[in-house]
Chain A
Amino acid sequence: MRINDLLMGLVMALLGAITIWASKDFPPIARQPYGAGTFPTIIGAFLVGLGLLLSLRGWQQRGALFLWQGQVTPSHTLICLLAAITAVAGYVLLTPLLGFPLVAPIMLTLLIGWLSGGRWGMAIIVAIVASAVVWSVFALLLHVPLDLGILEEVIY
């Protein structure tokens, strides 16, 4: 989705202004005019300046504020974005409770099954094999502490 440069520029300028405001209380180093606030303030000032320039350019071009481009419909794109966000958020929130060995195959099965247009048998097989491979590489080989969740009580 294309957002008009007028809006994008204003958002950037606002981000710059917030950065300057948040940096104002950083103290300088002793006997120096510079300190921890120097660079954030410079970055913020540039963001304000360049953001306003971008806004000015967008305003002069007078295009639509929001414009959809591409062959894929906005609703399908939005659903895909939400699916990806839900998958990541679901993993983060559910893994400590249910554990990687349950969450990862379920997440993969749902995503692959949905994206492949309902080939659920293939989705389940790929999800189980892939989750086992990822578990073997990261948890067993590289010793990354992937959560076991409720399975911890079952196993130990």
Chain B
Amino acid sequence: MAELHAALGMVFAWDVLAVILGASLFGLLIGAIPGLTATMATALLVPVTFFMEPLPAISAIVAATAMAIVAGDIPGALLRIPGTPASAAYTEEAYLMGRQGKIGQALGVNLACSVVGGLIGVAFLVFFAPLVADFALRFTSDEYFWLALLGLSCAVLVSGADPLKGAISMLIGLLISMVGMDSVSGQIRFTFGISDLLGGISILPVLIGLFAIAELLRRMPEIGHTHFPPPPPVEKPFSGVGRLMWQYKGGIARSGVLGTLIGALPGAGADIASWISYALSRKLSRTPEKYGTGHPEGLVAASSANNAALSGAYIPALVFGIPGDTITAIIIGVLMMKGITPGPDVFTSSATLVNAIFIVFILANLLLLPLGMLAIRGARHILAVPSSVLYPLILLFCIVGAFAANNSLLDVWLMLGLGLLAYFLVENDFPIGPMILAVILGPVVESNFMRSMIKANGELLVLFERPIAAMLGGLALLVWLAIIVSSVRSAWGARAAATSS
């Protein structure tokens, strides 16, 4: 109780509340602009959070991402262009509702269901994370090695249609994480004689390069070539929302739980949760034929799931230090920059901080209602911000942000190089999610493997001796088998297709 009281005191400090409000407004702006993602909002926030205490830093990211996902629904409903990938599953449905004169209702349902879904996810996080953490206290380096490897493997498997390219993206991320002095042996690796690289490649230029610069490079050429029609006015945003939510209450609850569970899977974030919930809702619906015609049932399900997934992703991130998605990968990076290594120990050593994070989650989700309303009302103005002004400003912010962590211009070069790399990879269908997860998890996998080997005098089979380690190891190997089989089959399929044509 004393910890809860202390946590409340930490959260309800004026500076933390101001950070939450400011970050929410920032998330609102980025999310509502088509093409700019919640992950990009997070990456752009990191340079500022670098100078904050851990709680306001995490609060900023939690608030900005929740708001960005919700704001991403707005251009989807108004212009048929999803603001973030997490809104893509139900963009058509929301837009068609708008064409039927129900634009206010569509956006109101999006907002209200996002809040409910987010709160379901938070409830899971609050109740289950400490229980799992208690269980995880018994883990040794064996379990952590397999857990991190399993996280990487799942990230590859769910990263997109092509696991082969996902696996290559992950390997490049692992390679980036190998640069610098090896933490176990002290050996210097791949620094090319540059002393600034001895501590490894700083996470900040990696994040900004992969998620902000690459996106800017992709979007800049479109300026002047894509014209958005003026959005229709939004009237009575909450008209009929309560009735719809009551009608589909089962779907909201189911999608909230499903979204949380999907979010907790490494690599599967809000966008995948949204698509799966939409598909499941259609499958279980009594009126599946109405889907795709401006029917609110799928909208209700998917918009609950994507915000629930955001909270779900924090369960493995806080308990094991294994990111559930790209946003939690960034959170782990931020925590590590501040000297906090996420893991079960955090729940005992920093229990007040953990409780404070839970409270921030509830607060950020509740704040969605008034700020979401504000976003809906001001949508026309946000969408009027010209990209020709916004993108150069983001570029300057990226440059200064990459420089800020170490006051090093080398980091700006690294940001540019990694941004170009990510640009070319994304243009060729390589997913970036596995790469950032690998940058975070690479050292975890390697250091735990080396610790286990030192304990066991290099005996590999020791990694399977403990029951949970054996189970996790078996799962990781199965996932890798699935990746390899899928890759070989795709190569075989390509050959068959080429022969038949």
Are the C-beta atoms of B185 and A36 separated by less than 8 Å? Answer: yes
Interface centre among A36, A38, A83 (most CB of B within 10 A): A36
A39 and B386 CA atoms in complex are apart in Å by 47
* Interface contact A108-B222, CB-CB below 8 Å: no
Residues of chain B lying within 8 A (CB to CB) of residue A23: 189
**Cβ-defined contact, B491 with A40, below 8 A:** no
Q: Are the CB atoms of A53 and B450 closer together than 8 Å?
A: no
A52-109 interface with B by 8 A CB criterion? 53-54, 56-58, 60-62, 71-72, 76-77, 80-81, 83-85, 87-89, 91-92, 95-96, 104, 107-108
B487 within 8 A of A: yes
Report yes or no: A43 in contact with B178, Cβ–Cβ below 8 A.
yes
Is A47 an interface residue when CB atoms closer than 8 A count as contact? yes
Q: A124 near B: Cβ within 8 Å? A: no
Asked if A148 is an interface residue, CB under 8 A from chain B, the answer is: no
Task: Provide the bound-state CA to CA distance between A51 and B413, in Å.
Answer: 27
Q: Which B residues are CB-close (under 8 A) to A142?
A: 48, 51, 404
Quick one: closest B residue to A57, CB to CB?
B491
Q: Check B388 against A116 for contact (C-beta < 8 Å).
A: yes
Determine whether the beta carbon of B168 is less than 8 Å from that of A54: yes
With the chains together, A8 CA to B397 CA distance in Å?
32
In the bound assembly, the distance between CA atoms of A50 and B22 in angstroms comes to 45
Comparing B119-127, B282-290, B331-339, B493-501, the segment that makes contact with chain A is: B493-501
Q: Is the CB of B224 within 8 A of A117?
A: yes
A80 contacts B412, C-beta separation under 8 Å: no
A81 to B213, alpha carbons, bound, how many Å? 11
Contacts of A12 in B (CB 8 A): 168, 171
List chain A residues, Cβ under 8 A from B51: 142
Given A91-B399, A131-B396, A144-B407, decide whether A54 and B416 contact each other with a Cβ distance below 8 A: no
Q: Which of B29-37, B312-320, B451-459 contacts A (4 or more CB under 8 A)?
A: B451-459
For the complex, is B420 an interface residue (Cβ under 8 Å from A)? yes
| B182: nearest chain-A partner, CB-CB | A36
Interface check B403, CB cutoff 8 A: yes
When C-beta atoms are compared, the residue in chain A nearest to B438 turns out to be A43
CA of A34 to CA of B381 in the docked complex: distance in angstroms? 59
Contact with A along B179-219 (1 / 0, CB 8 A): 00010110101100000000000000000000001001100
Q: Is B167 an interface residue (CB 8 A)?
A: yes
Q: Across the interface, do B453 and A32 meet the contact criterion of CB distance under 8 Å?
A: yes
Enumerate 27 A-B pairs (CB-CB under 8 Å) in ascending A order.
Answer: A5-B428, A26-B187, A32-B453, A32-B454, A35-B187, A36-B185, A39-B446, A39-B449, A40-B190, A43-B178, A46-B167, A47-B168, A50-B487, A57-B491, A61-B494, A61-B497, A76-B225, A81-B221, A84-B216, A91-B399, A108-B396, A116-B389, A117-B224, A131-B396, A134-B396, A142-B48, A145-B407
Residue ranges of B at the interface with A (Cβ–Cβ < 8 Å): 48, 51, 164-165, 167-168, 171-172, 174-175, 178, 182, 184-185, 187, 189-190, 213, 216-217, 220-225, 386-389, 391-393, 395-397, 399-400, 403-404, 407, 409, 412-413, 415-416, 420, 423-424, 427-428, 442, 445-446, 449-450, 453-454, 457-458, 487-488, 490-491, 494-495, 497-498
Interface residues, chain A, with chain B CB atoms under 8 Å away:
1-3, 5, 8, 12, 15-16, 19, 22-23, 26-27, 29, 31-40, 43, 46-47, 50-51, 53-54, 56-58, 60-62, 71-72, 76-77, 80-81, 83-85, 87-89, 91-92, 95-96, 104, 107-108, 111-112, 115-117, 122, 126, 130-131, 134, 137-138, 142, 144-146
Given pairs A96-B409, A134-B396, A144-B407, 13 additional interface contacts (CB within 8 A): A2-B428, A3-B424, A5-B428, A26-B185, A27-B185, A31-B458, A36-B182, A80-B223, A83-B220, A88-B395, A88-B399, A111-B392, A115-B220
Q: Which 10 A-B pairs have the closest CB atoms?
A: A36-B187, A115-B388, A111-B392, A116-B388, A60-B495, A57-B491, A77-B221, A36-B182, A80-B221, A80-B220
